C-alpha cells in the first residue's frame, strides 16, 4: 500500500475558542457556567463535593504549596482516583506549579526514574492512602529521592493567608490564580517504562482541553448522565476522559479509588444510578460477573479503552443489563482519546471514527498489504517527550506528527481497525502474524477467560508464538480445530498453549506484556536437570 493521509471533521468554532484557556481557568469557568452550588464529584467514601468546595479547597491548599515549592516547579501527585487527587491537581495549578501524575503501582525503580526524568523535588500524597495501601516501604524509599508532603499536613498549614485565598480566590480568581498560556505545560504523565526507563509525556493546557472538546463533540451525552470512573488518574484515560471531562462539562462524576474492587464497584454503580462507566474490557467483564442480573441496569453506556472489546462483553452487556459498550482508542501522548464508536452507531471490531480535528498518516509496513503504521496530528497531541537522559528538557515532535506504533486499517465507512502494535507482530517463515489475532481466536473459543500471546525465540523459524491462558483445560489441538473451521491460517495458531493461574495485568487494566513474555520464555525454556 502507499502512504495514506486522512482528515476527520473539524473541531467546532466554539471548541477552537474554548481550548485557548488554561486548565484552572477552564475549571473556574465551569463553576460559573454550571453553578458553584452544584454537586459535581462523589468520592470513594460517598462524600459529595460541590464546585464551590473544590474551588475553595484548591485556593486554600495552594498557599502552603507555594511555600514549599518554587515557581513553575513540577510537583508529583501520588494518590488514588478521588477528590484528594483532583484537589491536589487544581491546587498545584492555583499555586503556579505543574502537576506530574505518578503511578503508585509501578514500583520504586520506575517511580524513581520518573522523578528523575521530570525532574521532581516534591511529591504530594496522603497518610491515609499510604496506610490503607500498605505503601510505607515504598514511601520510605521514595523519600530518599524527593521531599514527601502530605495533604493532611498541608491542611494544617493553610494559615490566615490560605483562608483569605479560600474566600477571595473564588470571587476574584484572576487576581489570585496565575494565568499560564494555553500552550504551556499543564500536566506531565509517564509512559509505562516497559522498554526502558519511563519517558515524561508533556501535555499542554490546550492539549487536554482540546481532547475534552473533541470527546464532547463526538459522543453525545444526556443532561441526566452520571459518570462512574474507577480508573487511575495517573493514566491519561482515567484523568482526562474519566475525570476532567465530566467536571469541566458539568456532568456529575462518581470516583472510585481502585478498579480492582469488582464487587464494591458493581454495588456503587447500582447505588449511585450511574449511567456512563469508564472501564477496560477486562474490568467490565469482572464488574458484570460481580453484579446480579439488573444490578448495572442504570448504565446507558460503558466506554472501554486500553484493550480490544470482546464480542462476548458486548453480548453480556446488552442481554443482561441493556447498555451499549463503546470501544475507543487513545494513547497518553494524545491526551489520550483519538477515536471512538458512538452511541447508537456501534461497529464491532472497530475503534470507530477519529475525533474531530485529527489528521492521520498511514505508512506502509513490509509484509502487510491492507494495513499500515498510524501517525497522528492534531490539537490534542502532546508538546513533546522528556527523556531520562535529558531531564526536564521537552523534545517536540517532528512537524507535530506522533508515531503511535500501532498498525491499523480503515474500512469503507471510515472506521479504524487496530490490527495490533507493530512490536506485537511475529515474523514466522517470512510472514507477519499479529498477536492480537492469536488472542482473538483464543477469546472466541474460550470467551470467559483471559488470554495473552507472546513472541519468544525459535531455533528453526526465528520466532514462535506462545499463548498464556487462565483456562485450565486449554489445548493447542482444540485451538487448531477452531482455526481450521473458521478460516484462520495455521500460522496464526500458537506453537504452545500454556495454562496459568492468572494472566498478569497492569494497574491500568492493560495486559502486562513484559511479565507475559517472561512467563512464556520461562515456560518454553529447556529444563535443567538437578
pLDDT of residue 162: 78
- Whether residue 90 has pLDDT greater than 80: yes
Q: What's the whole-number mean pLDDT along residues 42-54? A: 96
More confidently predicted of 311 and 196: 311
pLDDT at 397: 92
Residue 416 vs residue 458, higher pLDDT? 416
What was the pLDDT predicted at 354?
94
Its pTM stands at: 0.85
Calculate what percentage of the chain has a pLDDT beyond 90: 57
- Read off the pLDDT of residues 176-224 as tens digits, 9 standing for 90 and up: 889 999 999 999 999 875 555 689 999 999 999 999 999 999 988 898 9
pLDDT tier at 349, thresholds 50, 70, 90: confident
Contact between residue 41 and residue 232 where contact means Cβ atoms under 8 Å apart: no
Q: Is the pLDDT of residue 331 over 70?
A: yes
Report whether pLDDT(31) > 90.
yes
What is the overall mean pLDDT for the chain? Answer: 89
What pairing do the DSSP bridges indicate for beta strands 39-42 and 253-255?
parallel
User: Other CB atoms closer than 10 Å to residue 512's CB: what's the count?
Assistant: 18
Whether the CA torsion 211, 511, 484, 315 is positive or negative: it is negative
pLDDT of residue 119: 95
Name residue 276's beta-bridge partners: 227, 301
Which regions of the chain carry the CATH code 3.40.50.12780? 4-8+18-379+398-410
d(CA 21, CA 34): 18
CATH number of 4-8+18-379+398-410: 3.40.50.12780
Q: SS3 for 320-350, per residue? A: HHCCEEEEEEECHHHCCEEEECECCECCCCC
pLDDT, residue 2, reads: 74
pLDDT band at 454 (very low <50, low <70, confident <90, very high): confident
Question: Of 528 and 80, which is predicted with more confidence?
Answer: 80
69: confidence class by pLDDT, cuts 50, 70, 90: very high
What mean pLDDT do residues 480-503 have? 85
Q: Residue 112 pLDDT more than 70?
A: yes
What 3-state DSSP class applies to 86?
helix
What pLDDT does residue 344 have?
83
Residue 366, pLDDT > 80, answer no
Residue 430 is predicted with a pLDDT of 65
For residues 107-117, average pLDDT: 92
Per-position b or e across 491-503, b if 16+ CB within 10 A of its CB: ebbbeebbebeeb
Looking at residue 507, its pLDDT comes to 64
Please determine, for residue 128, whether its predicted confidence score (pLDDT) is greater than 80.
Answer: yes
Residue 229, beta-bridge partner list: 255
pLDDT value for 196: 57
CB atoms near residue 221 (< 10 Å): 19
The per-residue pLDDT for 193 is 54
Query: Is the predicted pLDDT of residue 310 greater than 70, yes or no?
Result: yes
- Are 388 and 113 contacting, i.e. CB atoms less than 8 angstroms apart? yes
> Residue 37: pLDDT above 90?
yes
Q: How confident is the model at residue 274 (pLDDT cuts 50, 70, 90)?
A: very high
**pLDDT given at position 396:** 93
- What class does CATH assign to 429-524? alpha beta
Mean pLDDT of 306-311: 83
CA distances in angstroms from 500 to 2, 244, 340, 449, 455, listed in the order given = 42, 38, 33, 11, 17
Report the distance separating Cα 278 and Cα 299, nearest Å. Answer: 11
Q: What is the mean pLDDT of residues 482-510?
A: 81
Rounded Cα distance, 233 and 241, in Å: 10
Phi, psi of 397 (to 5 degrees): -80, 145
Please, which pLDDT band fits residue 413 given cuts at 50, 70 and 90? Answer: confident
pLDDT category of residue 3 using cuts at 50, 70 and 90: confident
Distance CA 341, CA 470 (A): 29
More confident residue, 374 or 165: 374
Looking at the chain, the domain(s) classified CATH 3.30.300.30 span 429-524
User: What local confidence, expressed as pLDDT, does residue 33 receive?
Assistant: 95
Mean local confidence (pLDDT), 401-422: 87
Amino acid at each position: 500500500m502507499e502512504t495514506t493521509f486522512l482528515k476527520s471533521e473539524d473541531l467546532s468554532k466554539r471548541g477552537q475558542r474554548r481550548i485557548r484557556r488554561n486548565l484552572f481557568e477552564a475549571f473556574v469557568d465551569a463553576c460559573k457556567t454550571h453553578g458553584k452550588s452544584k454537586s459535581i464529584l462523589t468520592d470513594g467514601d460517598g462524600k459529595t463535593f460541590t464546585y464551590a468546595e473544590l474551588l475553595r479547597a484548591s485556593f486554600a491548599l495552594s498557599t502552603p504549596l507555594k511555600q514549599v515549592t518554587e515557581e513553575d516547579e513540577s510537583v508529583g501527585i501520588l494518590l488514588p482516583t478521588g477528590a484528594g487527587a483532583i484537589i491536589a491537581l487544581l491546587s498545584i495549578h492555583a499555586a503556579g506549579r505543574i502537576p506530574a501524575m505518578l503511578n503508585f503501582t509501578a514500583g520504586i525503580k520506575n517511580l524513581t526514574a520518573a522523578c528523575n526524568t521530570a525532574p521532581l523535588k516534591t511529591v504530594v500524597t496522603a497518610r491515609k492512602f499510604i496506610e490503607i495501601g500498605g505503601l510505607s516501604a515504598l514511601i520510605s524509599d521514595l523519600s530518599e529521592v524527593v521531599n514527601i508532603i502530605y495533604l493532611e499536613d498541608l491542611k494544617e498549614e493553610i494559615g490566615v493567608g490560605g483562608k483569605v485565598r479560600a474566600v477571595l480566590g473564588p470571587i476574584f480568581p484572576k487576581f489570585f490564580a496565575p494565568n499560564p498560556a494555553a500552550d504551556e505545560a499543564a500536566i506531565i504523565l509517564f509512559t509505562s517504562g516497559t522498554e526502558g526507563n519511563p519517558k515524561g509525556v508533556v501535555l499542554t493546557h490546550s492539549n487536554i482541553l482540546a481532547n475534552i472538546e473533541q470527546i464532547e463533540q463526538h459522543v453525545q451525552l444526556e443532561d441526566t448522565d452520571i459518570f462512574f470512573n474507577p480508573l487511575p488518574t495517573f493514566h491519561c484515560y482515567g484523568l482526562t476522559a474519566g475525570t476532567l471531562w465530566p467536571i469541566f462539562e458539568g456532568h456529575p462524576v462518581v470516583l472510585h479509588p481502585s478498579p480492582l474492587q469488582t464487587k464494591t464497584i458493581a454495588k456503587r454503580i447500582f447505588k449511585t444510578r450511574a449511567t456512563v462507566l469508564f472501564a477496560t474490557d477486562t474490568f467490565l467483564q469482572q464488574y458484570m460477573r460481580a453484579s446480579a442480573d439488573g444490578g448495572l441496569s442504570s448504565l446507558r453506556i460503558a466506554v472501554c479503552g486500553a484493550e480490544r472489546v470482546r464480542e462476548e462483553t458486548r453480548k453480556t452487556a446488552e442481554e443482561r443489563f441493556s447498555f451499549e459498550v463503546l470501544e475507543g482508542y487513545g494513547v497518553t501522548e494524545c491526551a489520550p482519546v483519538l477515536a471512538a464508536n458512538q452511541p447508537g452507531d456501534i461497529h464491532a471490531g472497530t475503534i470507530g471514527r477519529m475525533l474531530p480535528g485529527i489528521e492521520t498518516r498511514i505508512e506502509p509496513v513490509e509484509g502487510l498489504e491492507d494495513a499500515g503504521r498510524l501517525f497522528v496530528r492534531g490539537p490534542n497531541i502532546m508538546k513533546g517527550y522528556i527523556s531520562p537522559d535529558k531531564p526536564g528538557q521537552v523534545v517536540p515532535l517532528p512537524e507535530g506528527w506522533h508515531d503511535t506504533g500501532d498498525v491499523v486499517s480503515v474500512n469503507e465507512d471510515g472506521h479504524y481497525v487496530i490490527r495490533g502494535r507493530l512490536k506485537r507482530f511475529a515474523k514466522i517463515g517470512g510472514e507477519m502474524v499479529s498477536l492480537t489475532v492469536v488472542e482473538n481466536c483464543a477469546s472466541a473459543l474460550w470467551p470467559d477467560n483471559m488470554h495473552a500471546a507472546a513472541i519468544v525465540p525459535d531455533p528453526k523459524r526465528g520466532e514462535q508464538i506462545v499463548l498464556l491462558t487462565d483456562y485450565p483445560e486449554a489445548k493447542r489441538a482444540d485451538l487448531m480445530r477452531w482455526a481450521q473451521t473458521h478460516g484462520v491460517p495455521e500460522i496464526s495458531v500458537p506453537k504452545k498453549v500454556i495454562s496459568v493461574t492468572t494472566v498478569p495485568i497492569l494497574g491500568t487494566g492493560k495486559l502486562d506484556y513484559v511479565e507475559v513474555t517472561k512467563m512464556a520464555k520461562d515456560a518454553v525454556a529447556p529444563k535443567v536437570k538437578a
